[in-house]
Amino acid sequence: MRVTVFSPAKINLFLAITGRRADGFHDLVSVAAPLEFGDELVAEGAALGGADAAAKEEASRFTLACELPEVPRDETNLILRAAKLFARATGWGGGAKFQLTKRIPLGAGLGGGSSNAVAALRALNQLAGGRASETDLAAMAAQLGSDCALFLQNAPVVMRGRGERVETLPEAGRARLSGRRVIVFKPAFGIATPWAYARMVARGGDYLPVAEAEGRLASWLAGDAAVEKILFNNMEPAAFEKYLALPVLLARLTHAFGLAPRMSGSGSACFALLDEAAPTDEVTRVIRESWGPAADVIVTRLT
């Protein structure tokens, strides 16, 4: 059996890191939206072996292939970690060969690894005949990473806690996001998430109190303002302090096109929402002029 699962990227439209927890993680309030752009994961089930122990072991193995050499194929890859967790949690004795078509840039803050992990859980659940419920999958996703759970929803969500507490955005807010055109762009360099959080800790003053974060979100949901009014990311100051190419370009796009660009997650990818008539060729030209031809530029839509 062969299963193909779409693995979308996400952007954080609103990201308020509210403080550091006793366990070392950070609490947050965030509105995240999946994109129509993403990776593709194919899982091909391995036939069960016979009585021979070596054949059984081979049948229960998980392997990963990807055309990009920089994508790890070992235990550090969340696809393989998700596969082993699924097997342990469900008792499924099968195996799978994964083939990943990687489009989401690495080190971007677009959730590519977390999305791939959830795609692996979805694919294996199909191969295993639906052994896991949605509740089971959510519990597995929470073990794999803080922002994995959001990818179980094919819609914009509000994330809380360290990202594992997820609820679908209310309809009034969702309607203002659905189908919005967006340009996502990433420089040749990435930003390591652990570094970004460590820098926030060192700076100390970038956190937004949870009451203020919830207040901003509630106010936007209660009104009818466009999504541009909720855009926020308090991880930007730490990143912008070191990676000056980010704020310089965002300021240029604001001045030249009247956009409201933001960084997604811990970066380095940024995004800007576009009107239908926005000159994407001109925006792309300015991005590549600033960051060079190696910059990734993607025009897509919010799911």
Name the H helices within the chain: 53-59, 78-90, 112-127, 134-144, 171-177, 193-203, 210-222, 236-242, 245-257, 280-291
Task: Please choose, from the candidates 49, 53, 139, 137, the residue with its C-alpha nearest in 3D space to the C-alpha of residue 94.
Answer: 49
69 CB burial (10 A radius; 0-12, 13-18, 19+) = exposed
Whether 102 is catalytic is: no
Which residue among 10, 27, 39, 102 is the active-site one? 10
Handedness of CA 196, 201, 207, 211 (dihedral sign): positive
Side chain identity, residue 113? G
Which residue among 27, 39, 102, 147 is the active-site one? 147
91 dihedral zone (left: phi>0; alpha: psi -120 to 50; beta): left
Whether 39 is catalytic is: no
Which residues are tagged catalytic?
10, 147
